[in-house]
Structure 1
Amino acid sequence: MGGTLLLEPSMLFARQVLRLCTLLAVGTGVCASTESSLTSVGASLPARLYSEWFARGANSGGVKIQHRSVGSVSARWALIRQTVDLAVSTAPMQPRDLAKVRRGVVQIPVLAEAIAFAYNQPGCDLKLTQKQAVQVASGMITDWEQLGCKPGAVSWVHRSDPSGITNAFTLSMQAFSSQWSLGTGTLIRWQADNALAAKGNSGVVAALQNKRGAIGYVGASMLGGGIRTAALENGSGEFIQPDGISAAAYLKGMQLDSNLAGIDHNPSVDGSYPIVTLIWVLAYRSGNGIKTEAIRDTVDVMLSRQAQSRAEQLGLIPLNDELLSKSRAVVEWIGQ
């Protein structure tokens, strides 16, 4: 059978952790010393998963990574200010911000997340056309009867804080209909009289649970507690629920630019849920010094089969082979 040794995912993960430890113990015999530890900040959405990944690596004798959940916008600013080694964001860095980082930035997709229209309206089996989705988010629809449900006031729940989820959501709204007039970005001036602001994905979920007649956008992995999700019309005219299968179908049609940011926000792929965002890890291209190999190997672990499988168990979307291949290819840019 030749001389190639095929390792199980758990063995691969352990080998990557061991390599981290070996690299960081140069001349000292100490693994994961204070000098060799990494700092990371990131989006709140995948924070549980990242904390688990990093803790597992440290507990296995690998590099210690001090990770804080600060939100996507704060994470990107921390990278610009050069106060961290890694940042995690649910929105890609824009060219104007990339230009602010003299050391250069390597932007690497590591996960994806579906963004749901979640609602609290008992007895309503909600299906939204793309035009209706825009009208709900814009405040044009104010009564559930306009959506084919029992009459009742609609309350629109949105993020109050700057958010990569808001950025992805508004890009999709813009792609759905020319009626969208609120622009795109991480922070939007919501003009609807029926709008309710909530901080973070957890705040949006709490607002939906506490307010009958409420509907809003939220990362699908955060949902539970009886909150329902709308079936949403995709680019092929199908009405699709947000789940791992439909989000994975979206990824098949995703087009990326040279910075590995998505450029098609309404792909026409059969069976795909139409609002999905990538989650990126951001690292410096140069100036990492003796931490270079540790940073590369940390990202390699995130892109490993075992790490991706654990993401799926927590409701996040693992990358397909094509996207993983593109991500793994640019890891080598770190340190060049």
Structure 2
Amino acid sequence: MGVNKILTLGAALVLTAVTTASAASLTGAGSSFVYPLFTKVFSEYGKSGDSVNYQSVGSGAGQNQLKGRVVDFGATDVPIPAADVDGYPGKVLTIPVAMGAVVISYNIPGVDSNLKFNGKVLADIYLGKIKLWNDPALVKLNAGVKLPALPITVAHRSDGSGTTGVFTDYLSKVSSEWKTKVGSATSVQWPTGLGAKGTDGVSGVVKSTPGAIGYIELTYALNNKIDFGLVQNRTGAYIKPTIAGVQSAAANVVIPTSGIISLTNAGGASTYPISTFSYAIFYQDQKYGNRTADQAKALKKMLNYVVTTGQDYSEALYYAPLPSAAQGRARAIIGTMTYGGKSF
């Protein structure tokens, strides 16, 4: 082997060693809603050298793990409640990272995926007031559909869940009775039904239980071949959950400087009414505990990837890519990160 080839090989080995040594390992936890997308995005991102270990434990647990500084970032489908913000040991930033639809899934033998629901009917089902699939209220919405006299088994999340937060936020907007009796939160006192952990758990209950109804993310319904229905929006139209319906919801709101806004029951003739952003949460000042400046830079780099290049993987997994306004807002917020009070 010639001298030049030896030197070239030696340089390559040194470069590989340096790259390996400088590779960062980041951890995150939270939303199961965004888990299928994050799995793909972080797999692709890992090809650059840095790795991201994300645990789908639910939005509530993700918020708690960030609060305890156990993870580099959390993921949640609803923002940290205002009453809880002061309990965090530092200022938390929130950025949109994904958009998707919460669908009304069901298992009714002989009925396909075109069943219609409106806000009042959904609230009454989850309040325990509508108990049978052939209830007059459902029959009226679904003329021509032969609904069986089958008991409705309500499935809901048993863990702290951003998907629950989104669904109950929607119900609180369309039903004053729901707002008064139950309200909106990641965990609520359910009037009826069976609890299951995670979106996988709710999907499992619905798929295995004739007569069941549940609220799950669109990609879980499609991947598990679970029927789901149309939901009436503010204009009176019954809309099937699609990427276009979610994009319409985002197009009809203005994203504030905080990066946080609800998409449920948004305006627009083609808007799917149970649409949502999913968010990443992290500390503005990254100098805490034993964190190094390199860890802070790695987190910043990864977050910028998620809200830009990472959006390219959204549609194939039935998420809606962030619109340019949301991407711009997210990048501006990421840009305010500091380390020891200094920008980096």
TM-score range, shorter chain: 0.7 to 0.9
Which protein shows a greater Rg? 2
Q: 2:276 & 2:263 partners in 1: Cα distance?
A: 11
Q: CA deviation at 1:247?
A: 1.1
- 2:106 pairs with 113, 119, 126, which one? 119
- In the other structure, the counterpart of 1:246 is 245
Q: Which amino acid aligns with 1:91?
A: V
- 1:296 pairs with 278, 300, 324, which one? 300
Contact 2:157 2:202 in 1 (8 A): yes
- 1:129 pairs with 102, 110, 118, which one? 118
The reply on whether 1:45 has 2:48 as its aligned counterpart is no
- In the other structure, the counterpart of 1:72 is 59
- In the other structure, the counterpart of 1:88 is 75
What SS is found at the alignment partner of 2:310? helix
Contact 1:256 1:263 in 2 (8 A): no
What SS is found at the alignment partner of 1:88? strand
- In the other structure, the counterpart of 2:316 is 313
The reply on whether 1:107 has 2:94 as its aligned counterpart is yes
- 1:218 pairs with 216, 223, 227, which one? 216
- 2:330 pairs with 318, 324, 327, which one? 327
Closer, same or farther in 2 for the Cα pair 1:264/1:246, shift >3 Å? closer
Closer, same or farther in 2 for the Cα pair 1:300/1:35, shift >3 Å? closer
- In the other structure, the counterpart of 1:174 is 172
Contact 1:257 1:263 in 2 (8 A): no
Q: CA deviation at 1:223?
A: 0.8
Contact 1:103 1:287 in 2 (8 A): no
Q: Which amino acid aligns with 1:55?
A: S
Q: CA deviation at 1:105?
A: 1.1
Q: Which amino acid aligns with 1:328?
A: R
Contact 1:202 1:222 in 2 (8 A): yes
Q: 1:160 & 1:298 partners in 2: Cα distance?
A: 31
RMSD of equivalent CA atoms:
2.2
Q: 1:38 & 1:201 partners in 2: Cα distance?
A: 24
Q: CA deviation at 1:98?
A: 2.4
Q: CA deviation at 1:333?
A: 1.1
Q: Which amino acid aligns with 2:301?
A: D
What 5-or-longer segments of structure 1 have no aligned partner? 1-26
- In the other structure, the counterpart of 1:231 is 230
- In the other structure, the counterpart of 2:163 is 165
Q: 2:219 & 2:232 partners in 1: Cα distance?
A: 20
Contact 1:41 1:68 in 2 (8 A): yes
Q: Deviations over 1:121-153 (max 9, x none)?
A: 133341112211211121111111121123221
Contact 2:263 2:276 in 1 (8 A): no
Closer, same or farther in 2 for the Cα pair 1:264/1:228, shift >3 Å? closer
Scaled by the length of structure 2, the TM-score of the pair is 0.83
Closer, same or farther in 2 for the Cα pair 1:263/1:200, shift >3 Å? closer
- In the other structure, the counterpart of 1:8 is none
Contact 1:32 1:64 in 2 (8 A): no
Q: Deviations over 1:243-264 (max 9, x none)?
A: 1111111111234454322246
Q: CA deviation at 1:33?
A: 3.6
Q: 1:186 & 1:175 partners in 2: Cα distance?
A: 16
Q: Deviations over 1:71-91 (max 9, x none)?
A: 211111111111221111122
Contact 1:247 1:272 in 2 (8 A): yes
- In the other structure, the counterpart of 2:183 is 183
What 5-or-longer segments of structure 2 have no aligned partner? 1-14, 140-146
Q: 1:200 & 1:264 partners in 2: Cα distance?
A: 22
Q: 2:236 & 2:209 partners in 1: Cα distance?
A: 31
Size of the aligned set, in residue pairs, is 306
What SS is found at the alignment partner of 1:153? coil
Q: CA deviation at 1:158?
A: 0.9
Q: 1:295 & 1:220 partners in 2: Cα distance?
A: 28
Q: CA deviation at 1:178?
A: 1.0
Q: 2:16 & 2:48 partners in 1: Cα distance?
A: 18
Scaled by the length of structure 1, the TM-score of the pair is 0.84
Contact 2:253 2:263 in 1 (8 A): yes
